[in-house]
Structure 1
Amino acid sequence: EVIRNCDVHGISHITGGGFDENIPRILREGQGIAIEEGSWEILPVFRFLEKYGKVSHREMFNIFNMGIGMVIALDASEAQRAIDLLAAQGERASVIGRVTAEEGVVIA
C-alpha cells in the first residue's frame, strides 16, 4: 500500500550488515543518513545482549539492527501517510532519521 500510495525513493531490508551496509544502498552517491536513536521502541532484549554479550553499542546496530527490520525512504511530507498505511496493515512504523548530504550512517 505504501508503494502504491506514496512516492517511495527506496526500500532497505535491514538484515545482516544492518545499518552501515544496507541503508546506504538506497541512497544516491554523496548522501548519507542521520538516525535518531530512540525514535522507535528499542526492546529490552537489545540492552541485555549489549551488556551481557559485551557488544559495543554501535556494533549492536549492525549485528542486531536494534529492532529495525526495514527502512523506507520517502519525502518527509509523506511520512505520516506511510505510517498510517502501515498501521492499517498491522505494522508499527516510525520516522527514524533523515537523509543528509554527507555519506555514511550517523547514529545520534
Structure 2
Amino acid sequence: CDVHGISHITGGGFDENIPRILHDGQGLEIEEGTWEILPVFRFLEKYGKVPHREMFNIFNMGIGMVIALDASEAQRAIDILTAAGEKASVIGRVTDTEGVVIR
C-alpha cells in the first residue's frame, strides 16, 4: 500500500497528533463507533466526569495508530493488518478543512 502518513496516537491524541501527518489546509473527519470502543472508556467518561470530546485526547478511545492512505487501498491495508494479527478499520477521511471533527 502507498502509505501517505502514520500517526501514533499518544498524549495529545486526535487533535495534536493526526494533523501532523496532513498537509496545510487539510483536516480529518472521524466517525465515532467505526471501531470497537471498549466499555472501560465509557466508564472513565461517566465516573471520571471527563467531557466526551476530551476522551479522544486523553484516552484515545482505543485507537493506537492512524495510517493515512488512499481510500482505494483501505481494504487491502486492513487485510494485511488483519493477517498480521492486528485489528484495523476505516475510522475517517481527510477533508479540506483544518482540524479534527468527530461525528
Bucket of the pairwise TM-score, normalised by the shorter protein:
over 0.9
- Which residue of 2, 5, 11 maps to 1:7? 2
How large is the RMSD of aligned CA atoms in angstroms? 0.2
Given the alignment, which residue of 69, 78, 89 partners 1:74?
69
TM-score (norm 1): 0.95
- 1:91 counterpart SS class: coil
What SS does structure 2 have at the residue aligned with 1:30?
coil
Tell me the SS of whatever aligns to 1:95. Answer: coil
TM-score (norm 2): 1.00
Q: Deviations for 1:71-92, whole angstroms, at most 9, x for unmatched residues?
A: 0000000000000000010000
1:105 maps onto 2:103 in alignment? no
- Looking at structure 2, the residues matched to 75 and 94 of structure 1 have their Cα atoms a distance apart, in angstroms, of 14
Paired letter, 1:49: L
Paired position in structure 2 for 1:88 = 83
Q: Calculate percent identity across the aligned residue pairs.
A: 87
Q: Which residue of 2 aligns with 1:49?
A: 44
Misfit runs of 4+, over 3 Å? none
1:48-69 CA-partner distances (Å, limit 9, x unpaired): 0000000000000000000000
Structure 1 spans left out of the alignment, 5+ residues: 1-5
| Match in the other structure for 1:20 | 15
Residue 29 of structure 2: aligned partner:
34
Q: Distance in 1 between matches of 2:89 and 2:60?
A: 15
Letter in 2 for 1:91: E
